[in-house]
Amino acid sequence: MERGPTLSRTVANRDQERLTLLVRAGDIFHQSLDVTATLNNVARLAVESFADLCIFDLIDERSDRLFVTAAAHRNPRMEEVLAGVGKILYVEEFRVHPVVRVTQTGEPFFLPHIDDRTIRQHAASRQHEQYMRRLGYRSKIVVPVVAQERIFGALTFVRTKDHNEFDERDLAFAIELGRRAGSAVANAKQYRREQYVAETLQRSLLPQRLPECEGIELSAHYRPGSTEADVGGDWYDAFENSNGDIVVSIGDVTGKGVDAARVMVLMRQAIRVAALDFADPRRIADVCNRLLLAEDEPRLVSTFIGVIDPDTRVLRYVSAGHAPPILRLPDKELLRLRAPSPPLGAFHDVEFELHEHECPNESMLVLYTDGVLEASRDIVAGERMLESVLSCDAVLHAANPAEFIERAIAGAAPRDDIAILVVNFAKNAMRWQFEAADARSAYAMREEFFRSLLRYCAADDEELATCGVIFSELIGNAVRHAPGPLSVSLEVRDDGLRLHVIDKGPGFTYDPKLPASLWAESGRGLYLVSKLAYDATVERIPGIGSHVIVTLPLRCDDFWKAPLSSFATLERDERQSRAPREADTPRTANARSRFATP
C-alpha cells in the first residue's frame, strides 16, 4: 500500500490540519447542491490527510434504508472493494451494524484501537468481520450526518494498521464535519423540493395539448434551469383560431418568481383573447403591449407571435425583441427569421413590423427562448451549436423534435429556463417512441411497423422476414447498449423506405464485421444489418446518442399496394404469435422467429 504523509505529527500540527480540512470541506459544501458529487469530493479530501477510508451512508427517504452515497480510500486500487460495503449493512448475523446503530440513536461510535478481539466483538456478521480484516482496520469513528434535529445518515472514518489511531480531538472533528455535511444535505433536499414545486407549477401554466392539423406536426418542450428553484417567465403556446389558422407564440418575461409567472400567464391569455378578434400579429402584439404598460410595475417581455395558414403554409409574424426563430428548409439550409421590433412593455405607440414567409413542405420552424443559446454560457457558441443540431437529419425523425433539440444542446443541467416549440411541415405518422426496457410497447410497435411496410410496398414473406431481422437487430442492439427512450420512424423516399432508430446511449462507431471468435455470442447484429439492407449509416449526435438510418430491401418504386395474400400472412402470423399463451407448439415458435420480437 502506498503511504501518504505520516499522521504522527505534533498536537499543534494535527489541530491545524483538522482546521484546514474543515475549511476546505466547507468550501466544497457551498459549491454545489449535487449531494453525491459534493460528498464524494469531501470523502476524497478526507483521505488525503485525515483517514485512510471515508464513507458517507445516507438514508433513502422512500425505503428508509441506508445506501453508500460516497466512498474514498487513500489507495485508489482499494476503492473497488468499497463498492460492496452497502450489502453488509443489514446483515445482522451477530448484532446491529455500527453505522445502522448511529443512524438509529444519533450517538457517535468510536473505537480508538481495533485488534482481532475488537473485530470479533463489534462485527455485525461474518462478512463484516472479513471486510474489516481485509482492509486492515486499526481505528474507527462513525458519526451521524445530522441537521435541524434530523439524521440524514452516517459518516465513517477508518485508519488502517499503517497509521496512528484516532483520538478524542479527531472524534470532535468528525462530529463537526458530520454536522456540516448534514446541513449541506438538508439544503440540497430543500432545494430539490422547492425546484419540484416550481417546475410543477410552471408546467401547469403551459398548454397541456397542442393543436392537430393535417400535414403539420407541433411539438414542444420546457425545462427549468438548474441554478434557481423558482418559477420563471418562459412560455410557449399554440392554438387554432376561428379561421382555422394556427397561432403560435413563445416568449420570456424578465425576472423570476411568482410575479414573472403571473405576467407570463397574462401574456399567454392576452394573445389567445386578442386572436379571437384579430388575425394580424401586429394587432395582437399591440394589445399585449398596451396591457403590459397598464401594469403598476410594467415588465419587459420578449415574444414571437406567428399565424400559420395550414393551406398555403404562409407564416405571418411579429418578433418583439425575441431570439430569431430558425426555419430549416428541405435542402437543410437554415434561415433565421429576423425582425427587430422592440420588446413588449418598452414603449407606447409602437408600430410592430409584420413579416411573411412561406414554409415549404418538409421544412421545420423552430421557436426557442434565450436559455437555448445561453446553455453553454457563450451566445455565439450557443448559436453554432443550435445550427449544428438543426442541420442533422435526426431532428426530423425524433419522436419529439423539441425535446431532442434541448437535450442535444443543454445537456444535464441548463443554467436558465428553456422553452422550445417546433412546427414540422413534414408530418410523419409512422413515428413511434417507447422505453427500451418496455417489451410490451416494443411488440405493439413491431406490429405497426409491419403494417406500415405493407401499406407502401409490395412485400412477400421472405422480404418481410428480412425486414424483421433488420428491425429486431437494431432494436435489440439499442436495448442492450442504450437503455432509455427509443425513437423509431419510417420515411418514404424515392429510393424506398428508410428505417430510423434514435437512441440516447453513449454512441458507437459503425463498423460492421464478424467477431474474431467463432463462438462469440454477440457482435453479429450490425454485420447482418449491413448485408441485408440496401444501405446503412450511423450518425453520432453529441449529447443525444446515435441515429441509425437503414434503407430497407423492399420494392417501393411506385408505392405498390400489397396483395391481399400478404395481409393474410401477416394476420396469420400475428395470431400465431399470441398462441404461446394457450399452447407452446413448435409451429408457434417458428412463426415468432420469422418476425422476431425485440
The band of 383, judged by pLDDT with boundaries at 50, 70 and 90, is: confident
Using DSSP, state whether 36 is helix, strand or coil.
Answer: helix
Same domain, 56 and 185: yes
Same domain, 61 and 119: yes
Burial of 338 (0-12, 13-18, 19+ CB in 10 A): exposed
Confidence check: pLDDT of 6 > 80: no
Using DSSP, state whether 210 is helix, strand or coil.
Answer: coil
pLDDT of residue 7: 45
The band of 123, judged by pLDDT with boundaries at 50, 70 and 90, is: confident
Same domain, 363 and 458: no
Same domain, 343 and 478: no
Out of 165-174, 480-489, 560-569, the most confident range is: 165-174
β-strand partners of 458: 555
pLDDT of residue 474: 86
CA angle 293, 296, 302 (to 5 degrees): 40
Confidence check: pLDDT of 240 > 90: yes
> Which domain-ending residue is among 150, 177, 196?
196
Closest CA to 48 of 81, 13, 24: 24
Tell me whether residue 26 is in a domain.
Answer: yes
Confidence check: pLDDT of 581 > 60: no
Same domain, 81 and 127: yes
Burial of 335 (0-12, 13-18, 19+ CB in 10 A): middle
The band of 257, judged by pLDDT with boundaries at 50, 70 and 90, is: confident
Same domain, 129 and 76: yes
- Domain of 78: which CATH number? 3.30.450.40
What is the percent of the chain where pLDDT is above 70?
84
Tell me whether residue 5 is in a domain.
Answer: no
Using DSSP, state whether 422 is helix, strand or coil.
Answer: strand
Tell me whether residue 143 is in a domain.
Answer: yes
pLDDT of residue 312: 93
Residue carrying C-alpha cell 423492399: 554
pLDDT of residue 223: 85
Residue type, 190: Q
Burial of 371 (0-12, 13-18, 19+ CB in 10 A): buried
Which segments of 425-494 are extended strands (E)? 431-435, 485-493
pLDDT of residue 162: 65
pLDDT, averaged across the chain: 81
* Terminal-to-terminal C-alpha distance of the chain: 48
Out of 51-65, 76-90, 225-239, the most confident range is: 51-65
Sheet architecture: strand order including 53-59: 66-73, 53-59, 150-160, 137-147, 109-111
What is the percent of the chain where pLDDT is above 90?
29
The band of 171, judged by pLDDT with boundaries at 50, 70 and 90, is: very high
Same domain, 457 and 334: no
Q: Rounded to whole angstroms, how far apart are CA atoms 90 and 192?
A: 28
Strand 326-328 and strand 364-368: pairing? antiparallel
User: Which stretch of 70-79, 159-168, 224-233, 508-517 has the lowest confidence by average pLDDT?
Assistant: 224-233
- Domain of 319: which CATH number? 3.60.40.10
* Residue ranges making up the domain that contains 76: 11-196
Residue carrying C-alpha cell 473485530: 119
pLDDT (mean) for 500-509? 79
> Which domain-ending residue is among 196, 221, 252?
196
| Integer CA distances (angstroms), 20 to 17, 24, 35, 173, 275, in order | 5, 6, 22, 11, 64
Sheet architecture: strand order including 496-502: 431-435, 485-493, 496-502, 545-551, 535-541
- Domain of 507: which CATH number? 3.30.565.10
β-strand partners of 25: none
Q: What are phi and psi of 262, to 5 degrees?
A: -65, -45
Q: Rounded to whole angstroms, how far apart are CA atoms 300 and 307?
A: 23
Residue carrying C-alpha cell 428548409: 329
pTM score of the predicted model: 0.65
pLDDT of residue 579: 42
Using DSSP, state whether 159 is helix, strand or coil.
Answer: strand
CA angle 237, 199, 262 (to 5 degrees): 60
Closest CA to 167 of 56, 17, 27: 17
The band of 225, judged by pLDDT with boundaries at 50, 70 and 90, is: low
Tell me whether residue 417 is in a domain.
Answer: yes
Same domain, 32 and 120: yes
Same domain, 408 and 449: no
Q: What are phi and psi of 458, to 5 degrees?
A: -85, 105
Same domain, 263 and 391: yes
Tell me whether residue 2 is in a domain.
Answer: no
pLDDT (mean) for 127-142? 89
Same domain, 252 and 131: no
Cell of 274: 386578442
pLDDT digits (tens, 9 = 90+) for 23-55: 888 888 888 778 888 888 898 888 888 899 999
pLDDT digits (tens, 9 = 90+) for 403-461: 888 888 876 555 678 899 999 997 666 888 877 777 778 778 888 888 888 877 777 88
Tell me whether residue 202 is in a domain.
Answer: no
The band of 322, judged by pLDDT with boundaries at 50, 70 and 90, is: very high
Give me the number of domains the chain comprises.
3
pLDDT digits (tens, 9 = 90+) for 194-223: 777 777 776 777 888 899 888 899 999 988
Tell me whether residue 436 is in a domain.
Answer: yes
Out of 257-266, 374-383, 463-472, the most confident range is: 463-472
Largest CA distance in the chain: 92
Tell me whether residue 4 is in a domain.
Answer: no
Helical ranges in 278-419 per DSSP H: 281-293, 379-391, 394-397, 401-410
> Which domain-ending residue is among 171, 196, 221?
196
pLDDT (mean) for 330-337? 93
pLDDT of residue 428: 65
Same domain, 406 and 436: no
